[in-house]
Amino acid sequence: MKIKTLEDLQEKIDAEISWRKFELTGIKFDVEETSSVNEKTKERAIKYGIMLLYSHWEGAIKKIAEYYLIYVLNLKLTFGELLPNFLAIELNKDFKQLMQSKKITTYNSLIDEVFNRQDKSPNFKTEKIINAKSNLNSDIFKEIMGTIGIPTTSYESKFTLLDSKLLQNRNFIAHGERFEKMQGITSIDEYIEIHEIIVGMIDLFAQEIYDFANKKGFKKYQI
């Protein structure tokens, strides 16, 4: 995938957001349209809305984060110029081997790798780096943000709502629970509230990714 300029990155982000926002608008409309129908139909619409809302939350975060990594890799900067999270991605397999070893020689080899790669550029595959584990709650979101080297400050006030309303209810539905089991989203108004908050978080994430790239936030030293 070619994302070599800020314009390329913006184009990919805009395209990703555009089709998702179109579908999300339709989902919201479908749920709102059930306001005058029987309760069972309304319940099905809310459950359907929650599942698709979660799907777009996970999909948007994964895709846009991957676009960001591709953009940074295509800049061909060295590890010495980049924040340490990029070297951590590159050496992920080595760290896993280190955790299983008690040999000092293994530790020495990894330390050598850290120093020897400072003048080299990242060469990892981006496809499997961003892993939401089909359960993109606040903890996994923080892990993704740590992986790409961006703070979570702007999102932290929404974490409780993300976990208790979207993730928990989505998991109830996925496991075949009755509507009565759901918490915090049992009416159309409650669904619309969480819908708008999650869409807002997606928009914020997309904007922060671009802004971080634009100000070269991935660089260790910014001049």
How confident is the model over 143-188, as pLDDT tens digits? 999 999 999 999 999 999 999 999 999 999 999 999 988 999 989 9
**Do 91 and 65 fall into the same domain?**
no
Looking only at Cα atoms, what is the longest distance across the chain? Answer: 70
Domain that holds residue 88: 78-121
The residue from 69, 101, 121 where one domain ends is 121
Cα torsion angle, 192, 196, 202, 206, sign: positive
| Residue 58: CB atoms within 10 Å | 18
CB 79 within 8 A of CB 117: yes
**Do 208 and 139 fall into the same domain?**
yes
- Distances from the Cα of 104 to the Cα of 88, 93, 96, 98, 99, angstroms: 20, 17, 15, 10, 12
What average pLDDT does range 29-43 have in this prediction?
Answer: 93
Q: In degrees rounded to 5, what are phi and psi of residue 6?
A: -60, -35
**Do 104 and 206 fall into the same domain?**
no
**Do 83 and 142 fall into the same domain?**
no
**Do 91 and 23 fall into the same domain?**
no
Q: Is 82 helix (H, G, I), strand (E, B) or coil?
A: strand
Lowest mean pLDDT among 63-77, 84-98, 197-211: 84-98
Q: What is the pLDDT of residue 121?
A: 92
**Do 98 and 175 fall into the same domain?**
no
Please report, for the chain, how many H helices and E strands are present, in that order: 9, 0
State which amino acid sits at residue 70: I
